[in-house]
Amino acid sequence: MVAIGGGSAVDTAKATAHYSGRKVVIIPTVAATDAPCTGLSVIYNDDGSFDKYLFYPENPAAVMVDTQVIANAPVRFLVAGMGDALGTYFEGRASIRTESPSLEGTGITRAGMALAELCYETLRDYSSQAIAACENHVVTPALENIVEACVYLSGVGADNVNCAADHSFYNGLTSLGGHSAPHGCCVAFGTLVQLVLEGVSQEEFEDVQSYCLEVGLPTTLAELGVSGEDDIRKIAEAACVPGETIHNLAGDVTPDELFAVIVATDALDRARAAE
């Protein structure tokens, strides 16, 4: 089975291949998520809310990316991919601290963590150059590096470390129904939320926030189409249900704690944006 398309097409093909006993080859046409390389599909309910992760015994047999195809796609897809990839290192770091299993249910290896770290370093070093290339539909070494980070390092990295609050924030947001913010944009905001939840230094928070502003990832709830206390409460509750990866964080994150942190993160970001 060959999947050609974006994240939803890729996830659908992976599931179809699994249930029909076939190997799957993935040819992504956008680099908006790390779905191509992971050994799982995200399953949604009919109303668009997150249902579960469907894990497979094998990862895709091959993933082939034509970077000219990525360069020809709208740049917003590439930026969303940067957001999805941004979470990988921070979620891995949180998971290894609590000796959580990997996303695929094994131990977290140093190799997995090294991929996650390289993913983050690559994003920091090449994102702006890659955006400039994509805006002009040309392939450069920076664009190649970013495609590797978004598709390979983030996907294989995440499989071999684990997710944490960033992806739970996204899953929580889908409970609002009818949302249209791209997965990676929600994961980027979720990364900022996780940093506040972890109580990192102001310096580290602002550093990651600066990256988001530099590449055009959302740093406020308004940019994700979320407004009002009721929405935030609903996100916080859905993000903390049993089995969510937010529980890979140290301590037991409750919906009340997460609610407070989402509000605080948004306030920090609005303050920064107003500067």
Return residues touching Zn ion (CB under 5 A).
84
Q: Is the dihedral of CA 243, 249, 252, 254 positive or negative?
A: negative
Minimum distance, C-beta of residue 267 to Zn ion, in the bound complex (Å): 25
Minimum distance, C-beta of residue 32 to Zn ion, in the bound complex (Å): 10
Minimum distance, C-beta of residue 275 to Zn ion, in the bound complex (Å): 29
Residue 133 or 244 with smaller CB distance to Zn ion: 244
Tokens of 43: 């399953």
The set of residues, in sequence order, having a beta carbon less than 8 Å from that of 163 and lying 6+ positions away, is: 87, 91, 95, 103, 245, 248
CB 31 within 8 A of CB 77: yes
Minimum distance, C-beta of residue 85 to Zn ion, in the bound complex (Å): 8
Comparing CA positions, the residue from 196, 197, 167, 200 lying closest to residue 85 is 167
Minimum distance, C-beta of residue 50 to Zn ion, in the bound complex (Å): 11
Residue 41 or 265 with smaller CB distance to Zn ion: 41
Residue 145 or 154 with smaller CB distance to Zn ion: 154
Residue 40 or 226 with smaller CB distance to Zn ion: 40
The set of residues, in sequence order, having a beta carbon less than 8 Å from that of 107 and lying 6+ positions away, is: 101
Residue 8 or 140 with smaller CB distance to Zn ion: 8
Residue-level length of the chain: 275
